[in-house]
A and B are shown apart, each in its own frame.
Chain A
Amino acid sequence: MLIIAMGATVALQKAFVPKFGLDLAGGTTVTLSPVLANGKTPSQESLDRAVTIIRQRVNGTGISDAQVAKSNDNIVIQIPGAGRDEALKLVSTTAELRMRQVLAVAAAKAPPVQPSTAAPAPSGSAAASPAASPGVASTAKASAAPSGNATPAGRALSKALTAPTPEPSETKRARTSGGRAAKASPSASASAAPSSSAAPEDAGDPLAGQDTSGIDQALLTEFRTIDCSAKNRGQGALDDPNKQIVACSDDGSARYILDKAAVQGTEISGAQAGTDPTTGEWIVQVNFKSKGATQFADITRRITSLPAPRNQLANVLDGVVIVAPTIEEAIPGGSARISGSFTQVTATDLADQLKYGALPLKFKQSSVVSVSSTLGQDQLRGGLISGAIGLIIVMLYLLLYYRGLGLIGMASLCVAAIVTFLTVDVLSHNAGFRLSLPHIIGLVVSIGITADSFIVYFERIRDEIKEGRRTLRSAVEVAWRRARRTILVADAVMFIAAVVLYFLAVGDVAGFAFAMGLTTLMDVVVVFLFTKPLMSLVARMRFFAKGHKLSGLDAERMGRTGRAEQTLQEA
């Protein structure tokens, strides 16, 4: 069934070959040169930081293995696949941090298709009573559980494997979204977290009950339709400081309509993470340059008395809202404090983002060239040939050792290979997975894991028979119960390895871990849905049940007679 379904997908998409990674298929090399006023050279520190940020951006999906390196004063990026414009745009955009007043906010859940028929709320009536609107009740201190992830929790696992999940650092941020629901004032009364947490699910229109005065009609429509749970929710987009915009929160849990930029990130002189001397909790301290300090004082003074959500000031970076604290009082003096349930890591992370904006330097693309694979064709050919030779040897060995059972083993291997190939193929066309040589070797190695499952099972069956089970059928069933646990426990180890590596590593390693987790799952599927049923079926055949010489279950092979005599003598 599974095979048919996936086979159909492959056929429908006319995608018979998976997409290959940089080492096998080549890709695009982009050279970014820093643009600096008056011909200065950039500091190595800022270049390193830019490399890190770009690496995070290009490997956002974690399974496509792009390479980023410093080259003299330039940054060289190699992305698998030729001419991938969206990726190129993403890496070279020099986004800046901007502070914008929040005009409207809603949970990220895409509305049940609500096109223009839903007339915008009459602007005059200013249904500004925030308590009445389910979405923005300031009593919604339920921020403790912001809808954090737009996917149903139950799907979390499968999502982690099939859909490109945000890159590690992003996940980290998502987790702290509760913490980011912070306030920017020194006063400590922890009130209104961003109202985003409570979703107005009953009201179909996310804007129901919100004051839409002063917002462009076009934006309202965009706000209703924007899908913040999508992979691309606008990261890397350059937002126009002189226009109102619609943006998603960094973790995809909320969407906002934001006013024109009140303060530009260039007006931030510094930001650092530290602990509050009285409470000991982690905070982020932000300092402004003189113009920024005035602007910041102005905006905080203006919005602090407004009803929620208009008293929130969003920080927009790379086209997404990274934090939108409620302003509780005017903040003069050019320095602000953001508190919330930060950890040292998340506070430092935020401080870095505020401090550096996005890229610490401005870049221009000095060259875009498509490159061939890093491996010669010889390597790929060699890998495939030797892999095939290895497989044939394995099959011969299995036949020689397990005879008839070996056939079942070979069939299991074939099924596993087909299922794995189809999965890789489907994923590479739908989830951005790119197969590289290490992945292929990883898959070849996984032959061992797949083979182990049925070897464990076969050995158990032989044990059962040696112990004197009457019929093969009962031996097959009893052995399965014992082998099943072993297989699951052992596969769990591999799977934990894959999951940990996937979430904590970047680039190559993440892709590899992904392939490893995939084959482990495939192994479980194949042994449960194929090997075991086939074995049960085969146990009814005379050839096997009677222990034919070639079945791999004959008396001599099992050592049954030998054993019996021996025991008799000893006894």
Chain B
Amino acid sequence: MPGVISRLYRGDIDIDFVGKRRTWYGLSAFLMTVSILGLLLHGLNLGVEFRGGSVFDFARTPGSSIEQVRQTVAEAGHNQVIVQQAGPNWRVTTESLKAEEVTKIQQAVAQKYGVPESQVSSQVIGATWGGEVSQKAWIGLAVFMIAIMLYLSVAFEWRMALAAIVALVHDLVITAGVYAWSDFEVTPATMLGFLTILGYSLYDAVVVFDMIKEVTGKLGTGAKMTYTQAANNALSHTLIRSLNTSLVAILPVAAILFIGTTLLGAGTLKDLSLALFVGMVVGTYSSLCVATPILVTLKEREPKWQALAKRVHAKEVSTAKAARTVKEPVSAGSQGTTPADDKRKKR
């Protein structure tokens, strides 16, 4: 194990990501199925901002703090509680409540803060993130996808665009699945977390694709590597970058998530950081194990690369027969010429 770490540290590591693509596809398909099932069977736990809720108003007594009021209401059996000072009153927003639940909260508050029960007013409030806002968000998402497809098609090619988008959808579905199964509340903050994942997941894939483009662009007809091997090579090369970047991005989020869940309980911090945390982990995985394998699968159908693959395999077989076992297919291409020369070709 220390060997692996020090090799990783030196950036000297070859993992056959693409070769194991069936494993990854299987894993991803499994995760996606579980997530979609979660969304369908269990559904998302939408917050007050989406579904509307109940608002309580009562006079502020000396010595009561926001935290105390939040706790009092939460103890009456609810977890989506927003407490605000409004003029001389407390204003408490909760999820939609039934009549008897409303009474229960009124009693709890009256008892604890010495306000007459009749003075605790309750109202039903509509969603601040109504249909209109959500609809616009969906339109925004659709336009975003199209814009990115176009951009990546121009900057790279359509296969890369497609692979990146598939990976993106993969990330979103799995993140949403985690929310569905874990029953964490979906608030506007969560939505913003999702939106960040959009950008982040693509960003990661684009950096990897850029390297793949550079490496494979140098593969001529006489090359000694197939597209698959070259792509794998590119992936290994950006692996350190991917891991370092993800780590640097995830560490602060993990810190926020940790503090958000352990010390503060429910709240914006937890909502947002959980979405980000899950999305980033899944995003790193998918840019390595989903986006690239899909790209390779698409590319290997092209006649040009098929022909190349055939040639390389033929050569490999003959070399193998010549009694020199090729240890790693990936490094196969890097042998033969002088070291400096062939490394240039790889990158």
Task: Answer yes or no: do A and B interact.
Answer: yes
By a beta-carbon cutoff of 8 Å, the part of chain A in contact with chain B is 23, 26, 29, 48, 51-52, 55, 67-72, 76, 168, 369-379, 382-383, 385-387, 389-391, 393-394, 397-398, 401, 437-438, 441-442, 444-445, 447-449, 451-452, 455-456, 459, 462-463, 466-468, 482, 485-486, 489-490, 492-494, 496-498, 500-501, 504-509, 512-513, 516, 556-559, 562-564, 567, 570-571
Q: Counting chain A CB atoms within 10 Å of each CB, which of B10, B140, B245 scores highest?
A: B140
Q: Is the interface of A mostly helix, strand, loop or mixed?
A: helix
A512 to B197: give the CA distance in the assembly, Å. Answer: 13
A116 to B195: give the CA distance in the assembly, Å. Answer: 53
The 9 closest A-B pairs by CB, nearest first: A448-B249, A390-B252, A70-B126, A559-B10, A504-B140, A390-B255, A372-B85, A386-B259, A369-B87
A500 to B258: give the CA distance in the assembly, Å. Answer: 32
B97 at the interface (CB under 8 A from A): no
A468 to B192: give the CA distance in the assembly, Å. Answer: 45
A397 to B9: give the CA distance in the assembly, Å. Answer: 12
A498 to B86: give the CA distance in the assembly, Å. Answer: 34
B321 at the interface (CB under 8 A from A): no
B147 at the interface (CB under 8 A from A): yes
> Which of chain A's residues has its CB closest to B255's CB?
A390
B224 at the interface (CB under 8 A from A): no
> Which of chain B's residues has its CB closest to A23's CB?
B268
> A398-B248, A501-B140 in contact; A467/B192 too (CB < 8 A)?
no
B320 at the interface (CB under 8 A from A): no
Question: With A448-B246, A493-B151 given, can you name 12 additional A-B contacts, CB distance below 8 Å?
Answer: A69-B126, A371-B91, A376-B83, A385-B259, A398-B248, A449-B203, A462-B11, A501-B144, A506-B133, A509-B191, A516-B195, A559-B11
By a beta-carbon cutoff of 8 Å, the part of chain B in contact with chain A is 9-12, 52, 55, 66-67, 70, 82-87, 89, 91, 123-130, 132-133, 136-137, 139-140, 143-144, 147-148, 151-152, 155, 188-189, 191-192, 195-196, 198-200, 202-203, 206-207, 210-211, 214, 237-238, 240-241, 244-256, 258-260, 263-264, 267-269, 272-273, 276, 280, 331, 335, 339-340, 343-344, 347
Q: Counting chain A CB atoms within 10 Å of each CB, which of B127, B144, B202 scores highest?
A: B144
> A394-B251, A501-B140 in contact; A438/B210 too (CB < 8 A)?
no
Q: Are B10 and A562 in contact (CB under 8 A)?
A: yes
> A67-B128, A493-B202 in contact; A390/B86 too (CB < 8 A)?
no
> A71-B125, A378-B67 in contact; A463/B248 too (CB < 8 A)?
no
A397 to B244: give the CA distance in the assembly, Å. Answer: 9
A467 to B345: give the CA distance in the assembly, Å. Answer: 11
Partner of B251, one of A378, A397, A516, A570: A397
A223 to B83: give the CA distance in the assembly, Å. Answer: 49
A567 to B340: give the CA distance in the assembly, Å. Answer: 10
> Which of chain A's residues has its CB closest to B260's CB?
A382
Partner of B10, one of A48, A389, A398, A558: A558
Set of chain A residues within 8 Å of B203, measured between Cβ atoms: 449, 452, 490, 493-494
19 contacts between A and B (CB under 8 A): A52-B132, A72-B123, A76-B125, A369-B87, A373-B84, A375-B268, A376-B66, A376-B67, A376-B83, A382-B269, A387-B255, A390-B253, A394-B248, A452-B207, A455-B248, A463-B347, A482-B214, A497-B202, A508-B129
> A372-B84, A376-B83, A498-B199 in contact; A69/B125 too (CB < 8 A)?
yes
Set of chain A residues within 8 Å of B89, measured between Cβ atoms: 369
Set of chain B residues within 8 Å of A557, measured between Cβ atoms: 9-10
A236 to B184: give the CA distance in the assembly, Å. Answer: 41
| Whole-angstrom distance between the Cβ of B2 and the nearest chain A Cβ | 15
| Whole-angstrom distance between the Cβ of B112 and the nearest chain A Cβ | 18
A76 to B124: give the CA distance in the assembly, Å. Answer: 11
A188 to B340: give the CA distance in the assembly, Å. Answer: 75
| Whole-angstrom distance between the Cβ of A474 and the nearest chain B Cβ | 14
Q: Are B264 and A441 in contact (CB under 8 A)?
A: no
A383 to B188: give the CA distance in the assembly, Å. Answer: 17
| Whole-angstrom distance between the Cβ of A480 and the nearest chain B Cβ | 15
A439 to B230: give the CA distance in the assembly, Å. Answer: 40
| Whole-angstrom distance between the Cβ of A405 and the nearest chain B Cβ | 11
Q: Are A516 and B343 in contact (CB under 8 A)?
A: no
A68 to B49: give the CA distance in the assembly, Å. Answer: 10
> Which of chain B's residues has its CB closest to A398's CB?
B248
Partner of B199, one of A26, A486, A516, A563: A516
| Whole-angstrom distance between the Cβ of A232 and the nearest chain B Cβ | 24
| Whole-angstrom distance between the Cβ of A115 and the nearest chain B Cβ | 44
Set of chain A residues within 8 Å of B12, measured between Cβ atoms: 559, 562-563
Partner of B84, one of A26, A51, A449, A504: A26
Set of chain B residues within 8 Å of A447, measured between Cβ atoms: 248-249, 252
> A371-B84, A372-B66, A445-B276 in contact; A497/B252 too (CB < 8 A)?
no
A444 to B276: give the CA distance in the assembly, Å. Answer: 11
Count CB-based A-B contacts (< 8 Å): 270
Set of chain A residues within 8 Å of B83, measured between Cβ atoms: 376
Set of chain A residues within 8 Å of B155, measured between Cβ atoms: 489, 492
Set of chain A residues within 8 Å of B137, measured between Cβ atoms: 505, 509
Set of chain B residues within 8 Å of A168, measured between Cβ atoms: 136
> Which of chain B's residues has its CB closest to A558's CB?
B10
A8 to B258: give the CA distance in the assembly, Å. Answer: 38
Set of chain B residues within 8 Å of A441, measured between Cβ atoms: 189, 192, 256, 269, 272-273, 276
Q: Are A459 and B125 in contact (CB under 8 A)?
A: no
A493 to B291: give the CA distance in the assembly, Å. Answer: 16
A294 to B83: give the CA distance in the assembly, Å. Answer: 56
Set of chain A residues within 8 Å of B241, measured between Cβ atoms: 452, 455-456, 459
Q: Are A505 and B140 in contact (CB under 8 A)?
A: yes
Q: Are A467 and B344 in contact (CB under 8 A)?
A: yes
| Whole-angstrom distance between the Cβ of B221 and the nearest chain A Cβ | 24
Set of chain B residues within 8 Å of A389, measured between Cβ atoms: 252, 255, 259
Q: Are A370 and B140 in contact (CB under 8 A)?
A: no
Set of chain A residues within 8 Å of B143, measured between Cβ atoms: 500, 504
Partner of A504, one of B70, B136, B246: B136
Q: Are A451 and B249 in contact (CB under 8 A)?
A: yes
A48 to B52: give the CA distance in the assembly, Å. Answer: 13
| Whole-angstrom distance between the Cβ of B114 and the nearest chain A Cβ | 21
Q: Are B206 and A490 in contact (CB under 8 A)?
A: yes
Q: Are B128 and A69 in contact (CB under 8 A)?
A: yes
Partner of B151, one of A496, A513, A567: A496
Q: Are A68 and B128 in contact (CB under 8 A)?
A: yes
> A441-B272, A455-B245 in contact; A490/B207 too (CB < 8 A)?
yes
Q: Are B248 and A456 in contact (CB under 8 A)?
A: no
| Whole-angstrom distance between the Cβ of A491 and the nearest chain B Cβ | 8
A23 to B128: give the CA distance in the assembly, Å. Answer: 14
A449 to B237: give the CA distance in the assembly, Å. Answer: 19
Set of chain A residues within 8 Å of B269, measured between Cβ atoms: 379, 382-383, 386, 437, 441
A71 to B189: give the CA distance in the assembly, Å. Answer: 22
A444 to B200: give the CA distance in the assembly, Å. Answer: 13
Q: Are B140 and A386 in contact (CB under 8 A)?
A: no
> A67-B128, A69-B126 in contact; A486/B192 too (CB < 8 A)?
no
Set of chain B residues within 8 Å of A76, measured between Cβ atoms: 125
| Whole-angstrom distance between the Cβ of A60 and the nearest chain B Cβ | 15
Set of chain B residues within 8 Å of A567, measured between Cβ atoms: 339
> A452-B207, A463-B237, A489-B210 in contact; A376/B70 too (CB < 8 A)?
yes
Set of chain A residues within 8 Å of B87, measured between Cβ atoms: 369-371
Set of chain A residues within 8 Å of B335, measured between Cβ atoms: 570-571
A244 to B226: give the CA distance in the assembly, Å. Answer: 78
Q: Are A505 and B136 in contact (CB under 8 A)?
A: yes
A321 to B259: give the CA distance in the assembly, Å. Answer: 52
| Whole-angstrom distance between the Cβ of B260 and the nearest chain A Cβ | 6
A303 to B203: give the CA distance in the assembly, Å. Answer: 59
| Whole-angstrom distance between the Cβ of B236 and the nearest chain A Cβ | 12
> Which of chain A's residues has its CB closest to B150's CB?
A496
Set of chain B residues within 8 Å of A386, measured between Cβ atoms: 252, 255-256, 258-260, 269
Q: Are A455 and B244 in contact (CB under 8 A)?
A: yes
Q: Are A513 and B245 in contact (CB under 8 A)?
A: no
| Whole-angstrom distance between the Cβ of A49 and the nearest chain B Cβ | 10
| Whole-angstrom distance between the Cβ of A373 and the nearest chain B Cβ | 7
